Copies of this chain bind each other. A is one copy, B any other.
Amino acid sequence: VEAGDAPAVIAELEPLHAADIADFIEQISSQQRRAFLALSADQLDGDVLSELEEGVREEVIEALPREALAEAVRELDTDDVVDILEDLEDIDQAYILETMESDDRAAVESSLAWPEHSAGRLMQSETVAVPQDWTVGAAIDFMRTEDWLPDQFYHVILVDERHRPSGYVTLGRLLSARRAMALSELVEESFLSVEATEEEEEVAHLFNKYHLISMPVVDQSGRLVGVITIDDAMAVLDDEHEEDMLRMAGVNEESSLSDRIIDTAKGRFLWLFINLITAIFASLVIAQFEDEISALVALAVLMPIVASMGGNAGTQSMTVAVRALATRELTGQNTRRVIWRELAVGMINGSAFGLIMAVVAGFWFGLPMLAVVIALSMFATLASAALSGIVLPVMLDKMKVDPALASGPFVTTVTDVVGFFAFLGLASVMLL
């Protein structure tokens, strides 16, 4: 299918969901993509565009003639338009905005005025809001006469005379209530709105925590300016997770399988370079003990074990910390208890592996003092790994630095340096 004749491919794709077409476009190679777009540019749906991941989408947008792009964008909800436009250059943005209807353009422009990654960028401007003193019947009649209603909406938002949201009624309740009933009697118990400047990550967290389906967005004066629906919040949550996971591993979070090889290599280079610096730093520690190593090569054989165990124990604590910070489980109140917990866990496992390694090293090299040295250094390394694994992310978070991004190199440096220094230093004092 992927090789030759484009019309056949296009016919094949026709009945598919936009998300599947987007998947197809992502999975073929760059060359195939160009060939495909050359033939199908004018038939590309706006929905497909908004389903594409950023890297590929840029490629596709560059390949599309401006008119086809404007055409594709016109059918979309304003939140999807914003999502596409925010990555475009100013000239292209302006061109597409010009071709839009004035209502939609105004909505998109005001949404683009909010900061990147804010609730204002995520929301759609089409809201279904009615005065808070209306009845069920009035609301239903209103909805039946209006024809601009958004594709997807699940609540009617009640607003006061200054257009500030005061509650919402689910459509299910609205449908099952008598016409004469006041809307105010049907409002959901818990009602949450969010300021347009709030970070999208926080919004996603609120959706997940409170099982929300949609959330009104207000401006600084509390007036309703839009609404965020859960499907967008779910996509944000998914992206944030991906970001955390990739960042922790030192992979550029915007990288994707469809990037160019050289870009991917560059993206990973920086992290590896930082790691190289920390590794050289650890080697400098080892270099201080060259004499000891020449005297007893067993030290060179065993020292990577200590460092490797420290690195893994540190990663365990760090991952728990990064995750707990992301889910707001690790808050100011329980920080001290959690740090103590991690240290205790590190000391318990440090003792356990200290004992195990003492036995292993004792049998392997037959030197009782070497066994004692490795036991003590294993304990020190695992305890300090656990401690730095929890303390460093917490400190970075306090300093408003993303702990997922920055913790790794620090923790590795601590565990390597402590591991080598403890092991070789103790050996130098106790063994030689």
- A residues with a Cβ closer than 8 A to B are 2, 17, 19, 23, 26-27, 29, 128, 140, 143-144, 146-147, 149-154, 170-172, 174-178, 190, 207-213, 230-231, 233-235, 237-238, 241-242, 244-246, 248-251, 255-257, 261-262, 264-265, 268-269, 271-273, 275-276, 278-280, 282-283, 286-287, 290, 293-294, 297, 299-305, 307-309, 311-313, 315-316, 318-320, 323-324, 327-331, 333-334, 337-338, 341, 344-345, 348-349, 352-353, 356-357, 360, 412, 416, 420
Smallest distance from the beta carbon of A53 to chain B beta carbons, Å?
A: 8
In Å, the complex CA distance between A278 and B305 comes to: 9
Count of chain copies? 2
What residues of B have a CB within 8 angstroms of the CB of A309 in the complex? 272, 275-276, 279
What residues of B have a CB within 8 angstroms of the CB of A271 in the complex? 312, 316
Contact A29:B337 (CB < 8 A) given known A210-B19, A231-B213: yes
User: Would you list the 3 A-B pairs with minimal beta carbon distance, nearest first?
Assistant: A249-B319, A171-B171, A300-B300
What residues of B have a CB within 8 angstroms of the CB of A345 in the complex? 261, 264-265, 268
In Å, the complex CA distance between A255 and B293 comes to: 40
In Å, the complex CA distance between A278 and B312 comes to: 12
In Å, the complex CA distance between A323 and B257 comes to: 11
- A319, B245: Cβ atoms under 8 Å? yes
In Å, the complex CA distance between A73 and B376 comes to: 51
Smallest distance from the beta carbon of A155 to chain B beta carbons, Å?
A: 10
- B282, A304: Cβ atoms under 8 Å? yes
What residues of B have a CB within 8 angstroms of the CB of A293 in the complex? 293, 297, 300
Smallest distance from the beta carbon of A243 to chain B beta carbons, Å?
A: 10
- B257, A329: Cβ atoms under 8 Å? yes
Determine the residue in chain B with the shortest Cβ distance to A315: B249
What residues of B have a CB within 8 angstroms of the CB of A344 in the complex? 261, 265
In Å, the complex CA distance between A140 and B140 comes to: 11
- A341, B257: Cβ atoms under 8 Å? yes
Determine the residue in chain B with the shortest Cβ distance to A409: B312
What residues of B have a CB within 8 angstroms of the CB of A333 in the complex? 2, 27
- A255, B29: Cβ atoms under 8 Å? no
In Å, the complex CA distance between A255 and B342 comes to: 13
What residues of B have a CB within 8 angstroms of the CB of A255 in the complex? 320
In Å, the complex CA distance between A303 and B286 comes to: 10
- A213, B320: Cβ atoms under 8 Å? no
In Å, the complex CA distance between A62 and B175 comes to: 41
In Å, the complex CA distance between A333 and B32 comes to: 14
- B245, A323: Cβ atoms under 8 Å? yes
Smallest distance from the beta carbon of A333 to chain B beta carbons, Å?
A: 6
Contact A280:B257 (CB < 8 A) given known A170-B152, A262-B348, A300-B286: no
Contact A234:B230 (CB < 8 A) given known A271-B312, A308-B275, A308-B279: yes
What residues of B have a CB within 8 angstroms of the CB of A251 in the complex? 316, 319-320
